[in-house]
Amino acid sequence: MRFASLLSVLLMAWSGAAFAGSDSARYVNGVEGLRAGSVPPPGFYYRSYNLWYHADELTDRNGDELDLGFELDLAATVQRLIYVNDFPKKAIGANYGAYLIVPTYYASLQMDAAGIDDDRFRVGDVELCPLLLSWNKERFDFAVAYDIFFPTGDRDLGEAATLGREYYTHMISVGGTGYLDPEKTWTFSLLGRYEINHERSSDRYRAGDQFHLEWGAGKAFPKLGLEVGIVGYAGWQTTDDSGRGVAWDKSVRDRVFAVGPEVNYTIKPVGLHMALRFEKEFCARDHTQGHILNLTLTKRF
């Protein structure tokens, strides 16, 4: 049962999840990079995340690779609509924002030890942020947000590449970007997110909480519309899985780290921003270990 749960979770991850060994993380590590703690100025934005994740390692509780003939490929295109308004600025000095995220993805899983070779194309769980507050200071940006994941994706345990979760998840985010020079060309950012899961009623199962941390340090060249830097992420399960649906060792908690380069380019005449990043995972425990490639396109209207 632990093994079956692991397989399903690996492939449900793109509904907003990390690649955890237990059915817990929903946020996708690595989707934000440089200036991750900043929110754009008031306006309406369309953002498209286009990701590819590949892993051929699956680690145990000690971080050792399991010999299972494992290979996983996940490709996703995630659409995000963002609205930012400055109406509460006079009262609290902050801008208000909200956004909606709808993921679509393709998953391919092979595991020779279990005779599994499956692939699926699905729409995943929808994510809504009804509350986003951001402050923009001379040398520092700060933001807080509340998100909720809805169990809208398909879930079929008869399929190795099944999707969907069948429970709600709350996520609290706090982030900031610091500008190390008056021209704001040198930046360092941190973005932390904490997930709290509801119980899945079908088997009385509650996934453990998850903490995510994304960071980035970069240098911008405004005249060229270019920015380059190094980014990374870390993810930890912070509480045990619980409930009747847990048939594995509850004390096993997953984790993963990653680091890599990022390049951004802005086409100012059309208001289009492009971000390309590649991150390699390491020190994974009870987790897949691979790499992620992410091309993000942002258009302001």
pLDDT tens, 238-269? 988 887 767 777 778 899 999 999 999 999 88
Q: How far lies 61's CA from each of 104, 150, 206, in Å?
A: 30, 29, 20
For residues 146 and 129, what is the distance between their CA atoms, to the nearest angstrom? 6
What is the number of H-type helices and E-type strands within the chain? 2, 16
The CA distance from 168 to 47, in Å, is 24
The residue among 58, 68, 75, 56 whose CA lies nearest residue 120 is 75
Residue 202 pLDDT? 74
Name which residue leads in pLDDT, 192 or 106.
192
pLDDT of residue 80: 97
Question: pTM for the whole thing?
Answer: 0.86
pLDDT at position 33, please?
A: 92
Q: What CA–CA distances, in Å, run from 4 to 21, 60, 65, 154, 178?
A: 10, 15, 18, 17, 44
Contact of 165 with 151, CB cutoff 8 Å: yes
The conformational region for residue 285 under phi > 0 = left, psi -120 to 50 = alpha, else beta, is: beta
The Cα–Cα gap between 274 and 293 comes to: 13
The C-alpha atoms of residue 269 and residue 195 are separated, in whole angstroms, by 39
Give the closest residue to 171 by CA, choosing from 129, 124, 213, 109: 129
Phi, psi of 32 (to 5 degrees): -115, 150
Does the pLDDT of residue 99 top 90, yes or no?
yes
Three-state secondary structure call for residue 7: helix
pLDDT in tens, 105-129: 888 888 888 788 888 788 888 999 9
Q: Which of 161, 166, 168, 171 lies closest to 245, judged by CA?
A: 166
pLDDT digits (tens, 9 = 90+) for 132-189: 999 999 899 999 999 999 998 776 666 655 666 788 999 999 999 999 999 999 999 9
Query: Are the C-beta atoms of 221 and 263 separated by less than 8 Å?
Result: no
